[in-house]
């Protein structure tokens, strides 16, 4: 296989791997205790292997971590938060049933500790996703000398697509498709920020703010009574 073809094959794999991992371990529930954490390990380790780096500092620079005042992250996160709250208030409040979420959290003994667990997971998961999508995959896309519009589009679609397989477990197909598209838009925004030279740290800040807004909605779906 020619080097150029091989590079595109690997790029395709990196774009679809999170979706395949979520589909098998979360949607289909194939050995979730093994496959799900293993997939997260792959997301962390893959950049080090591909970039042939041993230093976290060097890898962080490669992924786009640099000094920042955080303004991009705070402003974009605030905009996303407002959009999320507006969509909830105007479109979805009273239209979505949170029973599936409650059942899942109860099965994991997490329902009575919603906020403490949710915030911890959000901090780790958003960091991991930014490291992989706006750090590693973004760099892989740029290496293919793609126009910025394709970097933004593919980065957004890949990021949003893997969320579909989580959302479909909890929501109806129309709502899942809407949320998946919204996630693609958010992923495209963060990819665009990286194209503008914005630090990966800002993408993380923005992502975390958006996740907290979504967690608040999840809390509302559970009745708004779990405060720990």
| pLDDT grade for 175, boundaries at 50, 70 and 90 | very high
pTM equals 0.92
pLDDT digits (tens, 9 = 90+) for 101-149: 888 888 777 788 889 888 998 999 999 999 999 999 999 999 999 999 9
pLDDT attached to residue 228:
60
pLDDT digits (tens, 9 = 90+) for 43-95: 999 998 998 876 888 888 989 999 999 999 999 999 999 999 999 999 988 88
pLDDT attached to residue 140:
95
pLDDT attached to residue 227:
56
pLDDT attached to residue 52:
85
Percent above pLDDT 70 for the chain = 97
Mean pLDDT for all residues in the chain:
92
pLDDT attached to residue 9:
95
pLDDT attached to residue 213:
96
Return d(Cα 215, Cα 207) in angstroms, integer. Answer: 12
Q: Taking residues 167-179, report their average pLDDT.
A: 94
């Amino acid at each position: 296989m020619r080097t150029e073809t091989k590079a595109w094959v690997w790029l395709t794999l990196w774009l679809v791997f999170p979706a395949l991992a979520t589909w098998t371990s979360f949607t289909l529930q194939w050995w979730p205790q093994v496959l799900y954490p293993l997939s997260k390990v792959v997301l962390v380790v893959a950049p080090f292997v591909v970039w042939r780096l041993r230093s976290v500092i060097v890898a962080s620079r490669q992924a786009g971590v640099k000094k920042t005042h955080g303004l991009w992250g705070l402003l974009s996160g605030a905009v996303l938060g407002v959009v999320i709250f507006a969509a909830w208030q105007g479109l979805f409040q009273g239209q979505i049933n949170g029973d599936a979420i409650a059942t899942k959290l109860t099965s994991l003994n997490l329902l009575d500790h919603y906020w403490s667990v949710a915030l911890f997971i959000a901090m780790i998961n958003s960091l991991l996703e930014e490291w992989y999508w706006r750090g590693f995959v973004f760099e892989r896309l740029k290496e293919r000398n793609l126009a910025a519009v394709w970097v933004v589009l593919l980065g957004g679609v890949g990021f949003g697509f893997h969320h579909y397989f989580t959302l479909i477990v909890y929501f109806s197909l129309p709502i899942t498709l809407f949320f998946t598209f919204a996630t693609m838009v958010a992923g495209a925004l963060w990819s665009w920020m990286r194209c503008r030279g914005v630090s990966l740290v800002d993408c993380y800040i923005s992502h975390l703010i958006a996740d907290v807004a979504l967690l608040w909605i999840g809390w509302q779906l559970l009745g708004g009574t779990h405060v720990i």
